[in-house]
Copies of this chain bind each other. A is one copy, B any other.
């Protein structure tokens, strides 16, 4: 069996320490032993979300957690401002539409990011807006939004700032408490270095107060019940025991490294990769680059799918193609979580260079041109 280096925007590689914890014999969830794990996990989750409030964990993909923020914090007919810079921004918008919200959809060209000023203008034009939906790292274009600046705008408004940080958290800095971000959604298979299967939601006091105002039905994803159960180190429904034991280990590893160091590692790797790519003459898609992945625009005549196949078949390295209209046009080279290391990025770049050469467009030539 081949082992692949996953330089994709999720799932990312899972460290052996974490895999080992998930393979431990099953334990029952209503026991002191598991309550102890939950207590530590919840305390450590708050540290990596940088919040004083509880961070909820659901057995679901990140999309389930996104939907939960819509059904638990908003109501049918609410005015919602959606800032979409790509496929993932569109997903948050589409969920709000499904639940009958009055969604004002703002969109950006691929590679561009919204500014805090654009959010301010939109809120001025829609003073009754109940929420601003935005993505931290938009993985379809490798764009990172200026959440700290945007939070200053939303904090002074009546709208909750709801951030899909599924691909960004633990790569791009996000200080929920200090910045005044109301809602942060995440998933397990990116910066968290875990398999897919867990969704996370963190709320500040303003968001917690919004729970009781929502009139949408919900059962499995129920924030009030979840927060209540968390006070007793419990969960309303059977938790995903093995994934949570993996989460316990992954959090321990990240806190051993230190959150600032985790962020710096991703910043360093992404800065190095951008410099290398640009030195070859290739262009980057993102005008506001994220720390967790880099989107490289293919030169004329080179299809990203061919490069990705060469890297996979000959180097056991997996990168991602563009999505939708960007398919074939960009290579998404991720450096997230356990794959967010200089070593992994160097291996990836060597494979990328080899694949470009085999596709008839060696990078050296580009650098010289």
**Residues of chain A having any CB pair with chain B under 8 Å:** 1, 3-4, 6, 8, 10-14, 19-20, 22-29, 31, 58-64, 67, 94-95, 98-100, 187, 189, 195-197, 217-221, 237-243, 318
Subset of 17 A-B contacts with CB under 8 Å? A4-B28, A13-B25, A22-B23, A23-B23, A26-B195, A58-B60, A59-B59, A60-B60, A61-B239, A62-B238, A64-B64, A64-B221, A64-B237, A189-B241, A195-B242, A197-B197, A197-B240
Least Cβ–Cβ distance between A218 and chain B, in angstroms: 7
Which 9 pairs across A and B sit closest by C-beta, in order of nearness? Answer: A197-B240, A23-B23, A195-B242, A64-B220, A61-B237, A196-B238, A19-B23, A63-B237, A14-B26
**Inter-chain pairs besides A196-B239, A243-B243, 11 sampled, C-beta below 8 Å:** A6-B28, A14-B26, A22-B23, A23-B23, A29-B196, A59-B64, A59-B196, A61-B239, A98-B218, A99-B217, A197-B197
Contact of A3 among B22, B25, B29 (CB under 8 A): B25
Alpha-carbon gap, A241 to B221, bound state (A)? 21
Alpha-carbon gap, A20 to B8, bound state (A)? 24
Which residues of chain B come closer than 8 Å to A10, judged between CB atoms? 238
Q: Contacts A59-B60, A60-B220, A195-B240; is A19 near B25 (CB within 8 Å)?
A: yes
Least Cβ–Cβ distance between A191 and chain B, in angstroms: 14
Contact of A98 among B11, B62, B217, B238 (CB under 8 A): B217
Alpha-carbon gap, A218 to B218, bound state (A)? 10
For A31, the closest partner residue in chain B by CB is B318
Which residues of chain B come closer than 8 Å to A196, judged between CB atoms? 29, 59, 238-241
Docked-complex contact B61 and A220, CB < 8 angstroms: yes
Least Cβ–Cβ distance between A13 and chain B, in angstroms: 6
Which residues of chain B come closer than 8 Å to A195, judged between CB atoms? 26, 240-243
Least Cβ–Cβ distance between A344 and chain B, in angstroms: 13
